[in-house]
Structures are given as structure tokens and as C-alpha cells.
């Protein structure tokens, strides 16, 4: 795996593209400019690896479109030291972004093949989240609370159990909808019992499959 000037150039173009689509957070853009996405999607050409498109990965899953990764990352407002739960490790690309933003990351994936791949691969790039295999729709209560929770698959509802695993002031970012289209949804935990929910733009994710999901 090598990262050449050509790859760096393609990343600059990608950053320009997602900036034009509305991403403003300079730290997020910097992380995208730094992380070699072509390492995460080795079977594709460099041009496809750096197109602003979701791509198929193993186990019938996808690496999200860079714009979508940036959109969710921007919404999270990660502060260095934030404890973040990521549900749906997938290729590990979003995980790498969260780590670049200074978070401590707990990431869970239900597909064993992807779990095995990312646990072997991410540390080779110096990315060391806490990896878990299983159904993340229940969160990971034994490590809660989290400052931020990001769900990278489409859910039918906002699972109550995830809300309970947020700190007060903590934020959940989750796509919610049917199997065709989901609205990006943020839920801020205001107090022990109060939450503020906001629905944003529409996206299309692979389904969140599990106990509190499809």
C-alpha cells in the first residue's frame, strides 16, 4: 500500500468537491485530506476510490460516500477526548476520521468478516479504536456513557437504549427512515429525561440490522 502525490492530489479534489456540497468544518476536511481512502477500498482504481461515491465492500456492505462521512462527522462536533460510540464499523474509514478528530472510539460491527478485516488493518495505519463484534443496535452499555454516538446504517426508529447511553449534553447522529430513504437525525440529551430531536437531509444507507433495528 503506497500513498503517492497522485493520491494526495485526488484527495485535494475530493475535499474541494465536498466543500462545494456544503461541508465547512475545517478539521473534518483536513482529516479527509489526510486519510488514504484507497487503502480502505483496495479493489477499486484510484479514481473510483476518490470519487464522492459509496462503494461496495465485503459482506454485501458499503463504505459510505465521503460527503456522507463528512456530513455525519461535522454534525458530531467532535472535541478532542470525546468518548464516541460508532455503530457499523464497515471499512473502518469513518472510524479513522473520528480518531483523527481526537476522539476515543468504541466501534461495533455485526459482520464478522468486516470486524476481522478492520481489527487487522486499522492498527497498521496507527488507528487504534476499541473494536467489538455484535449487534450495536443495543449500544455497548458496559462502556457507556458516551459523549457522542454515530450510527452508520439506516434505522427504522431512534433506539431508546442508545439515548440512555449518552452523557447529559451528549449527541446521537443516526439516519432514520424506511429501507429506501432515511433522514439524518440528531438527538441531544438535555437532561436525565429530556431530549431535543432535529431531522435534517435525506440519505440512503444499508439497513441497521438487529434487536432494536430491522
Compute the least distance from the CB of residue 41 to ligand SAM, in Å: 9
Distance CA 43, CA 101 (A): 27
Compute the least distance from the CB of residue 186 to ligand SAM, in Å: 17
Interface with ligand SAM in residues 141-180 (CB under 6 A)? 152-153
Nearer to ligand SAM, 23 or 108 (CB): 108
Q: What angle do CA 65, 71, 75 make, to 5 degrees?
A: 150
Nearer to ligand SAM, 51 or 114 (CB): 114
Nearer to ligand SAM, 30 or 168 (CB): 30
92 backbone φψ class: left, alpha, beta (φ>0; ψ -120 to 50): left
Q: What angle do CA 90, 155, 51 make, to 5 degrees?
A: 45
Has 64 been annotated as catalytic? yes
Q: Any contact of residue 74 with ligand SAM (CB under 6 A)?
A: no
Residue the block writes with cell 473494536: 131
Among 25, 135, 161, 195, binds ligand SAM (CB under 6 A): 135
Q: Any contact of residue 213 with ligand SAM (CB under 6 A)?
A: yes
Q: Any contact of residue 87 with ligand SAM (CB under 6 A)?
A: yes
Among 61, 147, 165, 185, binds ligand SAM (CB under 6 A): 61
**CA-wise closest residue to 37 among 91, 85, 75:** 91
Distance CA 118, CA 87 (A): 14
Among 88, 129, 139, 170, binds ligand SAM (CB under 6 A): 88
Q: Any contact of residue 111 with ligand SAM (CB under 6 A)?
A: yes
DSSP string covering 42-66: TTS-HHHHTSSS-EE-GGG-EEPPH
**CA-wise closest residue to 187 among 204, 165, 207, 202:** 165
How many residues interact with ligand SAM (rule CB under 6 A)?
A: 27
Q: Any contact of residue 209 with ligand SAM (CB under 6 A)?
A: yes
Distance CA 34, CA 37 (A): 9
Distance CA 142, CA 116 (A): 22
Nearer to ligand SAM, 101 or 213 (CB): 213
Contacts with ligand SAM, residue ranges (CB under 6 A): 61-64, 69, 87-88, 90-91, 93-94, 108-111, 114, 135-137, 152-153, 205-206, 208-210, 213
* Active centre residues (catalytic): 64
Amino acid at each position: 500500500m503506497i500513498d503517492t502525490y497522485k493520491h494526495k492530489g485526488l484527495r485535494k479534489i475530493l475535499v474541494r468537491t465536498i466543500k462545494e456540497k456544503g461541508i465547512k468544518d475545517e478539521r473534518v476536511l483536513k482529516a479527509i485530506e489526510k486519510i488514504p481512502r484507497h487503502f480502505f477500498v483496495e479493489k477499486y482504481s484510484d479514481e473510483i476510490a476518490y470519487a464522492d461515491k459509496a462503494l461496495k465492500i465485503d459482506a454485501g456492505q458499503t463504505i459510505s460516500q465521503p460527503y456522507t462521512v463528512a456530513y455525519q462527522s461535522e454534525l458530531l462536533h467532535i472535541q478532542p477526548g470525546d468518548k464516541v460510540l460508532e455503530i457499523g464499523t464497515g471499512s473502518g474509514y469513518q472510524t479513522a476520521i473520528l480518531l483523527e478528530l481526537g476522539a476515543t472510539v468504541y466501534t461495533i460491527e455485526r459482520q464478522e468478516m468486516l470486524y476481522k478485516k478492520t481489527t487487522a488493518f486499522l492498527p497498521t495505519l496507527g488507528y487504534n479504536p476499541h473494536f467489538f463484534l455484535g449487534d450495536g443496535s443495543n449500544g455497548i452499555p458496559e462502556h457507556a456513557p458516551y459523549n457522542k454516538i454515530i450510527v452508520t446504517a439506516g434505522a427504522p426508529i431512534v433506539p431508546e437504549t442508545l439515548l440512555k447511553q449518552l452523557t447529559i449534553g451528549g449527541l446521537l447522529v443516526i439516519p432514520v427512515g424506511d429501507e429506501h430513504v432515511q433522514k439524518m437525525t440528531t438527538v441531544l440529551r438535555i437532561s436525565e429525561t429530556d431530549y431535543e430531536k432535529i431531522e435534517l437531509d435525506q440519505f440512503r444507507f444499508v439497513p441497521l440490522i438487529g434487536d432494536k433495528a430491522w
